[in-house]
Amino acid sequence: MLDVHKDDGPESKFYFTHSLLPSYIDPNNTSTKKKPFDLFQKQPFSHTVDLILPEEIYELVRAQFEDGETFGTLQYARVHMKLGEMLAEEFLEHYVKKGSIMMLSEGRPLVDNVFSLYKGQLRIELDRATYERCGIQGKPIENGGKKHQKARWVIELDLCSKNMKHGKKGFSRLEWACNNVLDQSLTWLFYNPHPNSIEALPDGREPIAMLQPFVHRIAPTANVLERGLAPEITVAHLANLYDQDSSLALLEWLHMMSLPSPRLQKSDRIDPYLSRYEVPDLGHGLATKNIVCVRWNGFISPEFIKGLFLTVRRHGMRVAKDDQDGEGGTEKMDEGRWFSITAKAFGGYGGCYTVMQFAGRETFTWVCD
């Protein structure tokens, strides 16, 4: 209640953007430079994804979560292995060279020696003593310590390169470092997006099966906040939310909805001494509606989040032919349909971003560093 705490570290920064989706989106070849698709790729390792949308829109897309072919079959594996086992010929050719899998080792970035693999790019973060023993070229990174003393180093290698194969000089140097320096067994998270992996991995019909992985299935959980208060937002009034207080109030409301907090229900009568939160009005009143929060917890890839975004937009945000503006948007200025996706990254591999999509092309994004 009283502002008496001491600020020991830097405050989080939020970056708010209002953008328009392209007039045509190819699901198999989306832009990597335009929002929100660039956000999906910049955060490769997410542990929690929340989809928030009104119940009437959820009913339109609900079948996509229950059909067992798209979002109901997401899975990943936890496996104990050494970094050098990733360089074994079968593992390298079947997984790494194809550039589809992603892996993340145990450890805390900027504290421990950690490793990650995404689209064939191997990233190794080491303390100075371990780095000097490896004998591989890297670059120093800031770790919040002494300004002129480089205590942490990063080595980045493209394992999809033609030079990264057995017998080549650079690859042999990496093999030596894995066998003589980076030889600790670690716990890894492993994700393979290939459709055949859904059945082959649990059945032990993949190269990683010899390492006896523990397979986790990620099933979405849906929570309904009944008679929740929501700010009235239409396409015609989106420019009114550019103000910092308004945009952050809307973001706070979305995050409160992901809890879901009873403070958002119309029937809530909490003592103001315990909580003074009020649903933001945003200048156009409040509406009472049932709102659904669908959550996925696990090791989640950017491709899954992109697919989720496109699927909900295609099945739940369809604009009637008479209301289309010819560029993929809507001419109906009182259009108020929306949904939001929030993705939270593993510590040290990004922060958190929220995408709020309206029917048509209008898109809000918030990025927290």
pLDDT of residue 190 exceeding 90, the answer is yes
CB atoms under 10 Å from CB of 324, counted, come to: 14
Residues 28/310, Cβ–Cβ less than 8 Å: no
Residue 30: alpha-carbon gap to chain centroid: 17
pLDDT the model gives residue 207: 87
The answer to whether residue 68 scores a pLDDT higher than 60 is no
pTM: 0.90
Across 137-159, average pLDDT:
80
Q: pLDDT over 90 for what percent of the chain? A: 56
The full set of domain ranges for the chain reads 14-73+219-368, 75-217
Query: Could you tell me the two tokens for 266?
Result: 């119309």
> pLDDT: is 199 or 295 the higher one?
295
CA of 256: how far to CAs of 12, 203, 230, 330, in Å? 18, 40, 11, 29
Structural contact between residues 226 and 100, judged by C-beta atoms closer than 8 angstroms: no
Residue pLDDT, tens place only, 104-125: 999 999 899 999 999 999 999 9
- State yes or no: pLDDT of 169 exceeds 50: yes
pLDDT at 328 over 60: no
The answer for residues whose C-beta is within 8 angstroms of residue 16's C-beta and 6 or more apart is 242, 244, 247, 248, 251, 364, 365, 366
Rounded alpha-carbon distances, angstroms, from residue 166 to 83, 96, 195, 269, 362: 15, 14, 29, 68, 49
